[in-house]
Amino acid sequence: MLAENLLAGRTRNMGASAIREILKVVSRPGTISLAGGIPAPRSFPMAIIEKITEAVLQKFGSEAFQYGLTEGFPPLREALAAYLETKGIVATPEQILISTGSQGVLDGLGKILISPGDRVALEAPTYLGALQAFTPYEPRYVQIDTDDQGMLPDALDAALARHSVKFIYMVPNFQNPTGRTLPMKRRLAVAEIIQRHGTLLVEDDPYGDLRYGGALIAPIKTLAPEHVVYVSTLSKVFAPGLRMGFCLAPDLVRHWLVLAKQGVDLHTSTFDQALAAEYLSGGHLARHLPKIIELYRPRQQAMLVAMERFFPHSFSWTRPDGGMFVWVQGPMGLDMEAVNRTAVDRGTAFVPGTFFFAHPGEGKETLRLNYTMADEATLTRAIEILGEVFDEALTG
């Protein structure tokens, strides 16, 4: 029988993903789950995939099945450089590093930057998967306060004056879990702060293209290029199963990320990269993205309308311009883990917000809702049930 002490000290920090445990429970037939965080299968461009698979075989032949560069398949890096230009980001293909999901970049950053006890600053709440990526490298987290417009620059400035941090991790567009977007004024402030303190910022942007209203806001990468690792993915605009992530990092960071990646997987799947290259360079993303937006926009709208109708007055929530999530704040004293257990018994589910805080026990009265996985009528029904569950929790 193997004993626990077989494991490295850091391994024991990993823990099971709380969300995965919840998702197991809610995958029961008949449950309407608002707990997930994944794209609708209907958003995948299946007809395009069929067409470009053919094109990739014609164009690249056996090259698409050979070992490749750790940095990534050159045609994909070229296509991504052109794609980033549409966001105002200037990059040469050589500066772009392909990763296995953007999750692969987050792990790589943890591996090359975090020694045990180093500080990492992040939004409160933040993306759970980032905590999972960084925690095994044993950082201390510095949580930075947020409001409905994301991270508070003054709080960040004060935290950086108090502590030296290895990097700041932030999701400025339609954040997971809150849906919040950092306005331009704050991006300028953050850019000034990181330059003044000489701090590295990890700008994680998987949702930026899923915009249902308003105009593009320039990435912080465009404001302080030498201080920002811009991380993104094709998971939400192509297909997450392809695991196609990428980053644009300052040279020093990219150099070590490449070496770290060599040890993990040598490189990301060549064939999948070739598909992604064709998806971008053939103009398919530009043509398909509006369809994804038209699938999600009415779903979000239906959910927000239902929340207005069925949620108690003491609840408040975000009204995001895009992305996949709405964040809900209940009155103090309500324990959303307990409330979620009741919701699951009634046939619906959410993710209690407390899982998204770096420091355990915070955000007990908050929760995250996802609207990409169900149609409008189903979402409305789920929100009606949740409204009843919340009413009972308040009176019970």
Q: Which residues bind ligand PMP (CB under 6 A)?
A: 37, 101-103, 127, 129, 171, 176, 204, 206, 233, 235, 240, 245
| 371, burial (CB in 10 Å: exposed 0-12, middle 13-18, buried 19+) | buried
Least separation in angstroms between residue 172's CB and ligand PMP is: 10
- When the beta carbons of 246 and 317 are compared against ligand PMP, the nearer one is 246
> Can you tell me the distance from the alpha carbon of 358 to that of 354, in angstroms, rounded to the nearest whole number?
9
Least separation in angstroms between residue 392's CB and ligand PMP is: 31
- When CB distances to ligand PMP are compared, the closest residue is 101
- The maximal CA–CA distance of the chain, rounded, in angstroms, is 66
- Print the SS3 string covering 154-189: HHHHHHHHHCCCCEEEECCCCCCCCCCCCCHHHHHH
116: which 2 tokens? 């045990």
> Can you tell me the distance from the alpha carbon of 228 to that of 23, in angstroms, rounded to the nearest whole number?
33
Least separation in angstroms between residue 237's CB and ligand PMP is: 11
- When the beta carbons of 175 and 354 are compared against ligand PMP, the nearer one is 175
Least separation in angstroms between residue 161's CB and ligand PMP is: 27
* Residues in a beta bridge with 170: 203
Least separation in angstroms between residue 175's CB and ligand PMP is: 7
- When the beta carbons of 7 and 216 are compared against ligand PMP, the nearer one is 216
- When the beta carbons of 73 and 315 are compared against ligand PMP, the nearer one is 73
336: which 2 tokens? 């959303």
Whether the bond between 153 and the residue before it is cis, its omega within 30 degrees of 0, is no
Least separation in angstroms between residue 220's CB and ligand PMP is: 15
CB-CB contact of 121 with 167 (8 Å): yes
- Which of 129, 121, 161, 164 shows the shortest CA–CA distance to 145? 121
> Can you tell me the distance from the alpha carbon of 137 to that of 140, in angstroms, rounded to the nearest whole number?
10
- When the beta carbons of 157 and 203 are compared against ligand PMP, the nearer one is 203
> Can you tell me the distance from the alpha carbon of 331 to that of 275, in angstroms, rounded to the nearest whole number?
48
Least separation in angstroms between residue 62's CB and ligand PMP is: 27
> Can you tell me the distance from the alpha carbon of 325 to that of 169, in angstroms, rounded to the nearest whole number?
19
Neighbour tally for 284: CB within 10 Å: 18
- When the beta carbons of 102 and 340 are compared against ligand PMP, the nearer one is 102
In single-letter form, the type of residue at position 116 comes to P
- Residue 200 sits at φ, ψ, to 5 deg, of -85, 135
- When the beta carbons of 102 and 273 are compared against ligand PMP, the nearer one is 102
- When the beta carbons of 177 and 334 are compared against ligand PMP, the nearer one is 177
- When the beta carbons of 60 and 177 are compared against ligand PMP, the nearer one is 177
Unique residue bearing structure tokens 């959410």: 350
- Which of 205, 213, 182 shows the shortest CA–CA distance to 89? 205
Least separation in angstroms between residue 19's CB and ligand PMP is: 10
Least separation in angstroms between residue 99's CB and ligand PMP is: 8
- When the beta carbons of 60 and 356 are compared against ligand PMP, the nearer one is 356
Least separation in angstroms between residue 176's CB and ligand PMP is: 4
> Can you tell me the distance from the alpha carbon of 16 to that of 346, in angstroms, rounded to the nearest whole number?
25
CB-CB contact of 247 with 96 (8 Å): yes
